Structure 1
Amino acid sequence: MNATDERKKVGFIGLGIMGRSMAGHILEGGHELHVYNRTRAKAGKLVGRGAIWHDSAGDVAAACDVVITIVGYPKDVEETYLGAGGIIERARAGTILIDMTTSSPTLAVTIAEKAAGKGLSAMDAPVSGGEGGARAGTLSIMVGGEEGAFNAALPLFRLMGETIAHQGGPGAGQHTKMSNQIAIAATMLAVSESLSYARAAGLDAKHVLSSIGTGAASSFLLNGLGPKMLDGDYAPGFYVHHFLKDMSIAITEAERMKLDLPALALAKRLYEKLVADGYGEEGTQAIFRAYGN
């Protein structure tokens, strides 16, 4: 932390595959870290490094200047913020609230409105970059909310991410993340079909990657997840069931805007089958299974 940065009491709620690394960067940045997670054991290493444990999200909110959440699903976000004894009820006036869960844009607007009514500032700030980006502190952070709150939180965002953009008012961060997930959904199918075609043609698919991975088809998904597909490495950097949640949110919002997204709809159906077949805890690259691999 730079000498010009103010040391804050920062709450972090949700210490899963992404949150534990993100919270660690806040602690390394010199801030007083307060934590809560439904499974306390996941907070053990952070507490061992000096983080302060609380028994509820509301208790964290009551103790902190800034509260950051990254939990599983929109229903978890709603309960954590709007439930009895939750963040909005317990936070002190002037507290900045930052939800980094990929969640519903409509819910983000509701939370911001409820927060404003209590003298709080709430932002939606979902991230992209997966577990690797969380560990390295290189996440892309897409922020919706008031510009003043964004500027106040920017030193914290910089501890967790590399590309940080204020996209607009409440909900804008979530809409940006939906755009990101829609692009990923279609690209994951394209990568799977490309490599399946290479194999069916009798080619060395990894050798094919060395050619097409540097041409117009080049992408993080092709070059980063393509080799894992070919190796049958489906360990999660981002869970299938979480990605399916994101696609469901995107389709709901698209329908609300009367927008037809056929590639997204197809990807959602294939990922739903993947979950039904028992692969929901694998990484998103497991969609390669849908092509007989």
Structure 2
Amino acid sequence: MTSSQNLRAGVVGLGMIGGGVAVSLARSGRVPAVHDIRPDASAKLAGVPDPLGTPADVAAASDVVMVAVVDADQAREVIGGEKGLLSAAHPGLVVVLLATVALPVVHELGALCARHDVGFLDCGVTPGDKAAENGMVAIVGGERATLDAAMPVLDDWAKKIVHCGPPGAGMATKIARNIITYGSWRTVAEAAGLARAAGVDPARLAEVIDTADPEGRTLLQLLRMHGPDGSLPEAVGRQIEPLMTKDLDAARDLAGTLGVDVPLVEVVRARARQTLELGAEPSPAEGDLHQYGLDMMDQVYGPGFSGAVQGSSDPFTDQTVDYLFAQVWSREGLSVRDRRLLTLGVAATVGRPELIQIIANGGLVNGELTPDELREAVLHLAVYTGWCKATATQAGITAAIAAHTAAPSPTAQEQK
């Protein structure tokens, strides 16, 4: 390959990321050969020349080519198509895939390049809006020798290059990073909805977070607490668990009171021990089993629900508390919401509106199901159980919704 100073760069795809990479390369003095299906794609990209006619033309004029297309089919066409990069490959050419695609596609394209003696790197990038400012992190998977060969070009557009491992490791890391991004967005959406329902401007929530955690340290705190072996020390998990469950229970209670749907909170609460790597919930001691079942009954159907069975000593009631709630509803395999939907489906086959009302009311109180979701459930169940039985389901759900919406929230009472 050409010396690092004279390495020629190419970019295929001049959208936000590819166009930004091309601008950064030009600013660094390594003006790239480019291609885009839009002939005027580089018109507003400072220092970037007009696009060449095909990806093959870019390959012929480059030593390292960044492929910044949208999806797998486009990547296949650009790399291996009739006029793709490999049709004009020369010794030492390295293809760097910037598109986020499924891992099997990465391995497929890597193998295709290998058959043509072309180097291949999978390279997730973030944040895309900083591409034109030499501001992205390159998340790279591939052979070390291939990365070393391409490094001078990557250095000209990335602020940091992280070699995550062998082929596919860069894409896997980028996909995992996206889970944190979009998962945190869902977290923010639920938190903002809860704050708004409580009469708090979400901007105040943002102000608190910006001030208390300006660099997002808390977001990755769990990862940073892992030990040298990559696992969370048990002592750390046990220390965190009581606070985590207490805080999540408070969030669930508030959401139930305000009628806010917080499915992510439900999942996080149900899997708290799994998150902290503490294994399954320990079984309560035999003497505590009954109280544990009563507490679970209240968790399922709302505070105070267990009062109706406390003091009873008949075998059926005892087993309902000690087995059904203490040992089945409490299992981690399904969330309370999942078990509620299953129970609702079974109850719909019986045609007992009063049972349906109890089950639906628990979902409303816990904020697991909205009135619209319950109404939709009636229609779905009608198809499977029959219209006559669904009439009872409709009656029970309508009664639960009416009772739930008739009860004023604390916020409403305070405004009177």
1:25 aligns with 24
AA paired with 2:44?
K
Identity percentage of aligned residues: 27
Q: CA deviation at 1:24?
A: 0.7
Aligned with 1:104 (options 102, 105, 128): 102
Length-normalised TM-score, structure 2:
0.49
C-alpha contact (below 8 Å) 1:33/1:52 kept by paired residues: no
Of the three residues 115, 119, 122, the one matched with 2:120 is 122
Match of 2:9, SS? Answer: strand
* Post-superposition CA distance 1:251-270 (Å, at most 9, x none): xxxxxxxxx9x9xxxxxxxx
Larger radius of gyration: 2
In 1: Cα distance, 2:132 partner to 2:26 partner: 13
Aligned position for 2:146: 149
CA contact under 8 A between 1:7 and 1:30: conserved in structure 2?
Answer: no
Call closer, same or farther: CA 1:138–1:32 in 2, change over 3 Å: closer
Matched, 1:207 2:204: yes
* Runs of 4+, deviation exceeding 4 Å: none
User: 1:163-182, aligned counterparts within 5 Å?
Assistant: 163-182=160-179
1:156-178 per-position Cα deviation (integer Å, ceiling 9, x unaligned) = 22222223111111111111111
Alpha carbons of 1:41 and 1:50: their partners in 2 closer, same or farther (altered >3 Å)?
Answer: closer
CA 1:79/1:164 → structure 2, altered by over 3 Å: closer, same or farther? same
> Given residue 194 of structure 2, which amino acid in structure 1 is its aligned partner?
Y
> Deviations 1:33-75 (Å, cap 9, x if unpaired)?
11101112221234x7352531111111122111111001111
Look up the match of 1:60: 58
CA positional deviation for 1:218: 6.7
Letter aligned with residue 45 of structure 1: K
Aligned CA-pair RMSD: 2.4
Q: Does 1:161 align with 2:158?
A: yes
Q: 2:208 is matched by which residue type in structure 1?
A: S
| Residue ranges of structure 1 left out of the alignment (5+ in a row) | 223-259, 263-293
Structure 2 residue aligned with 1:198 = 195
Is the strand fraction higher in 1 or 2? 1
CA-CA distance at 1:216 after TM superposition: 6.0
Residues 74-89 of structure 1 mapped to structure 2, 5 A cutoff: 74-89=72-87
The CA deviation at 1:92 is 1.0
Which residue identity lines up with residue 13 of structure 2 in the other structure? G
Matched letter for residue 139 of structure 1 = M
Q: Flag structure 2 segments of 5+ consecutive residues without an equivalent.
A: 220-332, 336-416
| 2:14 maps to amino acid | L
